[in-house]
Structure 1
């Protein structure tokens, strides 16, 4: 029996040999005999890759059998038929490959003290659960998969193995794709993406099952679904017939639902299937019978990827100004706040309310048209204010006992001298952390949080749980995004992407685009002395600030815009 086996350079070489790229177009026919359908091929992109793995080799040792088994796990065709050949008959029946995917940077087989028991030792990049929810993991994260082998007709076979597959990171990027499924904000006004990872040839069914299963943990309580809890598919497939995805649901739940709820279900599915080019419309069915959905105009479609106005708030000559069409002007009906030395301003996307910090970042002020500015809180090291669509302005900083607190205030509509409604949240996952950035997403259900603990920075997205009237109540345990650097600031670019960077007045700075739909950050062009970022609608509307002025991203570079203003920020 051999000792520690080959590293995955051999695995990568084997995968390169067995990868066959299909060059034919895989679109579903849009016409044909009634009843003809294709099931899992909806949305299959052109040139969708298929792996034809190697079957067991005669005389292979235990380590090779384990390695080859996991290589064969990239061949998902026919329910992983080749991979099952490496298992004993009983293990083949019991093994459930779709329970999770472990994506590794490197792997090796190592023996244990127990005879015929080995560990497949992985350096994990990320893991994906049965619902397509991916967890990105820092380099150096290890996991051991135990495997027990026995001989069957003189050949080594795997008798015990945990459910799931393990594949190299390069392979994962080829055969899996990131797909947003959609939920609603609690008012059903906005569509909120929940990005999942699925095999590219199995997306329609996988998306539907994930949607029925509810939002990812970090969105639970922050978003809602039109589908009641417990609703399931009536059959384990979602056929696509002449461009129509036929979603057959449990009859009782669907028939008893109101027309309004059914319309929202249909809309939620249609949004989710947007990435599938061969799905033109959605049919709801109960026991395969078409269920009529009337669109009488009572339900408005939700807004997806909400835009912000094409203007920014900034500071110039020690006062708040508006930056629009590359020109500076006053904020309408806003009194001068020059005596307060404003910095890092924010503007509400739903009213003319503004907020800002003082130069020392120790006091948060708000100001509404026709009133003087008022102090909302004073404490050390406040994060830049950020408004959400409910007109609450947010910041974060240490409380009286030093614990990290997230603060929200609603100054709009409050008479001069009256108390401003406020909320203080102390999520346990922020304990001990210094918050550098807290930015609300455009639809108001999520927040970008950049924080530091013991010199280590985390970039995270949390869900915002609210009461019925929109008052913030709690923050969910967040997901963590991987970045190449240690950023200290970030902004939302669209509903699935943020831009982050570590500002420096003296060095070249490389901002990064970090997307929920990508496994790796995208570096932008470096620029000397960038100290601030802002973003409008999409990656083309990213702005940076240095001592030389304000610049806009242009292709693979930066284009100068104007001088004389600092701390620009789009509404939000």
Structure 2
């Protein structure tokens, strides 16, 4: 995902269109940093594999220091069970009502480290301040977008150290002010989140394009599906939504009630702008986005197998469906673009050569020399264009065999 400037010119347009077809399958090899295993996205109907779950611990009566409370809160907030019910026991009543991290998180490659408390005031007005620091690996937005910091971030966040404020409640320290997002280690992120795809339309409105987001594994069925549908209506602010893709949902479309799941069928009731003059083509596009985005999801419940779309409570049935509002993938008029590439794996070696392999065990083939220092790369299926990221988030693009050109913008995220 790229924030900032946009590619220009005929060659750039060709590169973007080619890259869209590659996004679902491109593989990148970082040139440095820790080796971390993350859950990978799964195809429609795929089932989540069993993963370790974090067991949250409530605050203990013998914890007498603010540092113990902050450490306990950080550990407990990594568990999404019951809307982080245990983590909320560390908060004051007012902060419990205000704290709504949703899917937002800062992921640490080192840390988060809890510093020593500083105190101000006396008696019942005594307040403690605890600073949390570390090296941020990525920032997860409230909609699940994964953003890599544009430069090496220290101090707990790209913007600097994070401050927790605490006060005494019934003789025990409780957090009165916490950051509006989770602070996760790489380990807890690995087992807390799963990569899923939102689906939007390409510029020609012919094919669906995957836009990956991270969602909590322990999210309830309703909150997960509600969040995914919200993202379809309000696309994440990444580079795909800035001209490369679009959503078929009209602006100011709303959901009426929660998305429900019954017998494998997700029922989505929409209102607002979509109710004004929605035609059959629009409804087919909306239905396709919902199908490919929701199929296989379901949070901690059963996986979604089909979708029933309603507008203002009235079920919609496409033509030729015998008035059956329950839709499955085989009935969708729109599908993701498909196509095979002779070279499936690309990576850059230590001397800056771009290599490809037809399989993990095949002999590598040199494609071009692009230089060192890149953390991620993507090659268009026609092998004409390459995009590469530096550690500081700088994006370089160009034709294979020609010097890469740095693109204008304020930083980049994952390719």
Shorter-chain-normalised TM-score: which range?
A: 0.5 to 0.7
Equivalent pair of 1:243/1:281 in contact (CA under 8 Å): yes
1:230 equivalent in alignment to 2:243:
no
Equivalent pair of 1:450/1:457 in contact (CA under 8 Å): no
Alignment partners' CA distance in 1, 2:382 and 2:250: 22
- Counterpart of 2:129? 117
Alignment partners' CA distance in 2, 1:45 and 1:239: 20
The residue correspondences of 1:206-217 to structure 2 (distance < 5 A) are 206-217=227-238
- Counterpart of 1:401? none
Out of 446, 450, 458, which is 2:388 matched to?
A: 450
Alignment partners' CA distance in 2, 1:92 and 1:458: 35
Equivalent pair of 1:218/1:476 in contact (CA under 8 Å): no
The residue correspondences of 1:244-255 to structure 2 (distance < 5 A) are 244-250=265-271, 252-254=273-275
Shift of 1:95: 0.8
Shift of 1:65: 0.2
Equivalent pair of 2:167/2:173 in contact (CA under 8 Å): yes
Deviations 1:233-268 (A, max 9, x none): 222x22122221111111551462111011011111
1:130 equivalent in alignment to 2:163:
no
- Counterpart of 1:500? none
The residue correspondences of 1:172-211 to structure 2 (distance < 5 A) are 172-202=189-219, 203-211=224-232
- Counterpart of 1:282? 307
Equivalent pair of 2:132/2:155 in contact (CA under 8 Å): no
Task: Specify whether residues 279 and 99 from structure 1 end up closer, same or farther in structure 2 by C-alpha distance, changes over 3 A only.
Answer: closer
Equivalent pair of 1:461/1:479 in contact (CA under 8 Å): no
1:51 equivalent in alignment to 2:54:
yes
Deviations 1:124-169 (A, max 9, x none): 1212111000113476543222111111111011111121111211
Equivalent pair of 2:296/2:305 in contact (CA under 8 Å): no
- Counterpart of 2:289? 268
The residue correspondences of 1:413-452 to structure 2 (distance < 5 A) are 441-442=380-381, 448-450=386-388
The residue correspondences of 1:53-132 to structure 2 (distance < 5 A) are 53-60=56-63, 61-98=65-102, 100-104=104-108, 105-111=110-116, 115=120, 116-132=128-144
Task: Specify whether residues 298 and 65 from structure 1 end up closer, same or farther in structure 2 by C-alpha distance, changes over 3 A only.
Answer: closer
- Counterpart of 1:358? none
Deviations 1:348-377 (A, max 9, x none): xxxxxxxxxxxxx9xxxxxxxxxxxxxxxx
Equivalent pair of 2:266/2:307 in contact (CA under 8 Å): yes
**More strand, by proportion:** 1
The TM-score with structure 1 as length reference comes to: 0.48
Alignment partners' CA distance in 2, 1:273 and 1:477: 32
Task: Specify whether residues 59 and 439 from structure 1 end up closer, same or farther in structure 2 by C-alpha distance, changes over 3 A only.
Answer: closer
Alignment partners' CA distance in 2, 1:264 and 1:461: 34
Task: Specify whether residues 443 and 98 from structure 1 end up closer, same or farther in structure 2 by C-alpha distance, changes over 3 A only.
Answer: farther
Alignment partners' CA distance in 2, 1:271 and 1:295: 20
Instruction: Extract unaligned runs of 5+ from structure 2.
Output: 1-44, 121-127, 322-329, 344-365, 398-406
Out of 157, 160, 166, which is 2:183 matched to?
A: 166
Equivalent pair of 2:152/2:392 in contact (CA under 8 Å): no
Alignment partners' CA distance in 2, 1:88 and 1:43: 40
Equivalent pair of 1:59/1:155 in contact (CA under 8 Å): no
Deviations 1:509-557 (A, max 9, x none): xxxxxxx6xxxxxxxxxxxxxxxxxxxxxxxxxxxxxxxxxxxxxxxxx
Task: Specify whether residues 248 and 122 from structure 1 end up closer, same or farther in structure 2 by C-alpha distance, changes over 3 A only.
Answer: farther
Where relative contact order (Cα < 8 A, 6+ residues apart) is larger, the structure is 2
Alignment partners' CA distance in 1, 2:276 and 2:226: 21
